[in-house]
């Protein structure tokens, strides 16, 4: 019984927010894809861009477009100041994410890899750039 309670409690700690893109946003943008892209692009921070990407990912290779936006928001927070060791660690972290798609067939895994890479950009911005 305690295990079930612990698992129930633990699951809520890892809950991902629901995608906040509405039908009205989709209509205004012309498609769900464009509405999500706009939301991620307009996010006020690296952290928020990542959270939107995580919540609104497409489950296919289109998520790579969101990754590009997240990286453009997060990388400047730390790459300019980063030393060689930090840059190398970041490249290795991205390579580990890329292996998700390399080892598995299907566009769903490209999406997983893109979200992983976006998370690494956010993590490095937090750790080395003080960025949120």
What pTM was computed for the model? 0.83
Q: How many CB atoms lie within 10 A of CB 42?
A: 11
Distance CA 65, CA 39 (A): 12
Over residues 9-45, the pLDDT tens digits come to 444 455 668 999 999 999 999 999 999 999 999 999 9
């Amino acid at each position: 019984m305690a295990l079930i309670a612990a698992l129930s409690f633990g699951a809520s700690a890892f809950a991902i927010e629901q995608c906040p893109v509405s039908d009205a946003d989709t209509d205004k943008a012309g498609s769900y894809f464009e509405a999500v892209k706009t939301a991620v692009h307009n996010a006020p921070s690296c952290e928020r861009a990542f959270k939107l990407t995580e919540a609104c990912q497409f489950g296919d290779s289109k998520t790579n477009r969101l990754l590009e936006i997240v990286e453009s928001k997060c990388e400047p927070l730390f790459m300019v100041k980063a030393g060689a060791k930090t840059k190398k660690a970041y490249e290795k972290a991205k390579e580990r994410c890329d292996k998700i798609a390399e080892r598995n067939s299907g566009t769903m895994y490209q999406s997983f890899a893109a979200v992983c890479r976006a998370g690494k950009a956010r993590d490095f911005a937090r750790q080395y750039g003080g960025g949120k």
